[in-house]
Structure 1
Amino acid sequence: MKWSVVAVGRVKESWYREAIAEYHGRLQRYRPVSLVEVSEERLIQGREAQVMRKEAERLEAACPPGIRIALTERGARVTTQQLADKLAAFEGQGVPHLSFVLGGPQGLDADFVKSCQWELSLSPLTFPYQLARLVLVEQLYRCETLRRGEPYHKA
């Protein structure tokens, strides 16, 4: 099964890019994972919903056929072990592709979130969207090491 991390906007700070690249490289040892960035729409005051809809259209186009997982603050709050189990369950269903979808500073369009097969929260806290991307990639790597019984994960 292939994975994609599909996100709105570019990671601007070099230290975020370096950390994401580090965990992405580690994760690639286990399975193909693509990092896809779609352009962020310029925010127009009073038109936030339209901006999020345009970004959602880009996200939809960037996600390969398969399961889409929306990352939101209202999503399922799970432990790393529970996330690893959920990912294994998707793999057991023969799903060809998982797309983990992150919105930009405005979040994700509500209709787009409803169209996703699962909604996941990384934390009840609100993170900058670049940090959320880093936390997600690290957690995916942690899940893979956990599933293989490797020593990285220490609960």
Structure 2
Amino acid sequence: MTIKLLAIGKTDDKQLAHLIEQYIKRLGHYIKFSIEIIPDIKNAKNLRTSQQKEREGQLILSKVATSDTLILLDENGKQYDSVSFSELLQKHMNSGIKQLIFVIGGPYGFSEEVYQRSNGKLSLSKMTFSHQMIRLFFVEQLYRGFTILKNEPYHHR
């Protein structure tokens, strides 16, 4: 299985980008992982919120194959502790799927088409964070999940 993180817009903060890269390298010991950045919509300020979500949704769905499992990082998603999240990862690996895709949407969330295509929603917190910070939190939790599955000391129980 491979895991991909799709995200709208690039990370401008070089320190955050560096930390994200460190976790991507660490994840390479456990699974094939990649981040794919979907560029921000041009002239978004001239669009209604619904139009922006629709355009971003089309771009997201163009990156997803019918065989992929799609999990949206969404404020209304299910919350897991780190151990439960690692168990979710194991469940997906055991299911035989080829690719698990997690998506961080744009500033207004996801279009209805993306919600309909998704296989689930995951919330990292009830708090609101910048999309750039969520990338770091997600890759760290993904790394933590794999260290839990391998019974390695990174996660202290």
* TM-score interval, smaller chain: over 0.9
Q: Is the 1:4–1:35 contact (alpha carbons within 8 Å) kept by the matching residues of 2?
A: yes
* Corresponding residue of 1:142: 144
The sequence identity of aligned pairs, in percent, is 29
**Structure 1 residue 45: Cα displacement:** 5.4
Question: Where does 1:1-150 land on structure 2 (aligned, <5 Å)?
Answer: 1-41=1-41, 42-44=43-45, 47-64=48-65, 65-150=67-152
Q: Aligned AA for 2:53? A: M
Question: 3-state SS of the aligned residue for 2:153?
Answer: coil
- Residue correspondences, number: 155
**Structure 1 residue 63: Cα displacement:** 2.9
- Residues of 2 paired with 1:97 and 1:117: CA distance? 12
**1:74-97 deviation per Cα after TM superposition (whole angstroms, max 9, x unaligned):** 000111111111111111110111
Q: Which moves more between the two structures, 15-24 or 59-68?
A: 59-68
Identify unmatched segments of 5+ residues in structure 2. none
**1:89-145 deviation per Cα after TM superposition (whole angstroms, max 9, x unaligned):** 111110111001001222222331232001000000011000011100000000000
Identify unmatched segments of 5+ residues in structure 1. none
Question: 3-state SS of the aligned residue for 1:52?
Answer: helix
**Structure 1 residue 46: Cα displacement:** 6.0
**Structure 1 residue 55: Cα displacement:** 0.7
Q: Is the 1:38–1:62 contact (alpha carbons within 8 Å) kept by the matching residues of 2?
A: no
Q: Aligned AA for 1:98? A: L
Alpha carbon RMSD of aligned pairs, Å?
1.3
- Residues of 1 paired with 2:16 and 2:107: CA distance? 16
Report the TM-score when normalising by structure 2: 0.93
Name the CA shift for 1:50/1:6 in 2 (closer, same or farther; >3 Å): same
Q: Aligned AA for 2:137? A: V
